[in-house]
């Protein structure tokens, strides 16, 4: 019996190594569907899969700095925040979104030497849940990674550790890591991190961070940092200005994913050549307050996907079509 158990453990280890990274058992049982906000594994006729990582909803307490999966109220907020963005990605796709012990909002105000342990704990859950999905449900299907804010950070970490193998790289349609920074130095250190250069390239990262013209420092892009970005209105990576007429629709959604207000041509935008941030034009910052104390007025982090909802929705389909055409699927 002992020999059988050891053989089974060896087999599991081989499976977990098969996509290029290792993951500890985080004590979260991802075969239990209650640990998934979404696990849409039934409709195999849909073109591809979306693996979505939720943004920060857990505020934290004095002594608990990672969301607990027994916290039903925060899990409800987690599901709601996922629903707010789900409509961008889930047309003709299967949608997978794990609950994970995300780092609390207050972690972002800590010294990095202290805060990283909480992000690492969150990432172990993300990594383990992705492995569970990949080994039990993916079956070679094309993948879209998507996440906002902390979720975007987790997407980039996932690509660094789990997309080193050519096979899984070839399955990636795109990684929408919106609302987090990624630097040129990172793409040089990790060759699998390829940044988007147009509206239809695949196997690439799409990222941007919205802010007012006058902003020169933020928690997401500290002063002196330059992040990579692509403009979701004209899909250029230079400073070419995009007129608000290119904005197909800003959509403001609720926790059920319903669009409560849609405004076509709300904003224009251009990429700042120094910071790499996405400068948003044609609106007043006081009309779109940051909503969180960790952000100054004029930092539009909470609106990154809302301001450009319809353009993102269209682009997801454009990249799926491009991937299918290139790969003969």
**What does pLDDT average to over the chain?**
92
Q: How far apart are CA 327 and CA 329, in angstroms?
A: 6
91-103 pLDDT per residue, tens: 889 999 999 999 9
Would you tell me how many other CB atoms lie within 10 Å of the CB of residue 325?
11
b/e code 122-135 from CB counts within 10 Å (16+ = b): bbbbbbbbbbbbbe
State the Cα–Cα distance between residues 37 and 43, nearest whole angstrom: 17
Better-predicted residue by pLDDT, 112 or 177: 177
pLDDT tens digits for range 20-50: 677 666 689 999 999 999 999 988 888 899 9
* Alpha carbons 300 and 290: distance in angstroms, whole number: 6
Q: Which residues contact 203 (CB under 8 A, 6 or more apart)?
A: 169, 170, 172, 173, 174, 194
Tell me the percentage of the chain whose pLDDT exceeds 70: 92
Please report the pLDDT score of residue 10 as a whole number. 34
Q: What is the mean pLDDT of residues 198-225?
A: 97
Does residue 9 have a pLDDT over 50?
A: no
The pair of three-digit structure tokens given for residue 153, joined into one six-digit string: 């950070």
Alpha-carbon gap, residue 182 to 172, rounded angstroms: 18
Chain-centre distance of CA 91, in angstroms?
Answer: 17
Query: Could you give the percent of the chain with pLDDT greater than 90?
Result: 85
Taken in order 35, 41, 46, 47, the sign of the CA dihedral is positive
Q: How many CA atoms lie within 13 A of 261 on its CB side?
A: 5
Collapse the DSSP code of 58 into the 3-class scheme (helix H, G, I; strand E, B; otherwise coil) and give the result.
coil
The per-residue pLDDT for range 42-91, each reduced to its tens digit, is: 888 888 999 999 999 999 987 899 999 999 999 999 999 999 999 999 88
What pLDDT shows up at residue 27?
80
pLDDT tier, 329 (very low <50, low <70, confident <90, very high otherwise): low
Identify the pLDDT of residue 62. Answer: 79
Tell me, what DSSP letter sits at residue 34? G
Give yes or no for residue 19 having a pLDDT over 80: no
| pLDDT at residue number 20 | 65
pLDDT digit string, tens, across residues 191-205: 999 999 999 999 999
Residue in the block written with tokens 């879209």: 144
Q: pLDDT band for position 262 (50/70/90)? A: very high
What's the pTM?
A: 0.93
| Coil, strand or helix at 115 | helix
- What pLDDT score does 6 carry? 34
> Each residue of 162-191: pLDDT tens digit?
999 999 999 999 999 999 999 999 999 999
Backbone angles phi, psi at 44, to 5 degrees: -80, -5
Contact between residue 64 and residue 102 where contact means Cβ atoms under 8 Å apart:
no
Q: Residue 241's pLDDT is what?
A: 98
> What's the CA gap between 203 and 199, in Å, rounded?
12
| Residue 269 DSSP one-character state | E
Q: What is the mean pLDDT of residues 272-297?
A: 95
């Amino acid at each position: 019996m002992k020999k059988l158990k050891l053989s089974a453990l060896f087999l599991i280890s081989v499976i977990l190594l098969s996509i290029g990274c290792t993951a500890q058992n985080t004590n979260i049982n991802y075969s239990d569907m209650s640990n998934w906000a979404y696990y849409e594994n039934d409709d195999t006729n849909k073109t591809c899969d979306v693996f979505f990582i939720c943004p920060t909803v857990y505020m934290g307490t004095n002594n608990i700095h990672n969301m607990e999966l027994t916290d039903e109220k925060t899990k409800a907020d987690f599901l709601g925040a996922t629903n707010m963005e789900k409509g961008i990605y889930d047309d003709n796709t299967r949608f997978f979104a794990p609950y994970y012990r995300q780092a609390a909002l207050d972690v972002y105000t800590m010294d990095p030497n202290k805060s990283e342990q909480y992000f690492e704990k969150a990432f172990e859950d993300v990594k383990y849940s992705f492995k569970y999905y990949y080994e039990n449900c993916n079956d070679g299907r094309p993948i879209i990674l998507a996440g906002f804010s902390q979720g975007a950070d987790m997407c980039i970490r996932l690509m660094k550790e789990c997309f080193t193998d050519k096979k899984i790289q070839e399955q990636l349609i795109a990684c929408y890591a919106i609302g987090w920074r990624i630097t040129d130095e990172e793409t040089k250190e990790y060759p699998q991190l390829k940044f988007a250069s147009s509206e239809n390239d695949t196997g690439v990262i799409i990222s941007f961070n919205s802010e007012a013209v006058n902003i020169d420092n933020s928690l997401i892009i500290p002063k002196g940092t330059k992040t990579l970005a692509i403009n979701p209105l004209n899909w250029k990576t230079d400073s070419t200005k995009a007129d608000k007429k290119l904005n197909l629709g800003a959509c403001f959604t609720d926790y059920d994913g319903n669009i409560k207000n849609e405004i076509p041509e709300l904003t224009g935008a251009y990429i700042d050549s120094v910071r790499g941030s996405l400068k948003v034009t044609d609106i007043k910052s006081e009309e779109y307050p940051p909503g969180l104390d960790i952000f100054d007025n004029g930092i539009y982090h909470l609106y990154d996907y809302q301001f450009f909802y319809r353009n993102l929705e269209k682009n997801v389909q454009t990249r799926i079509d491009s991937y299918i055409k290139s790969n003969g699927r």
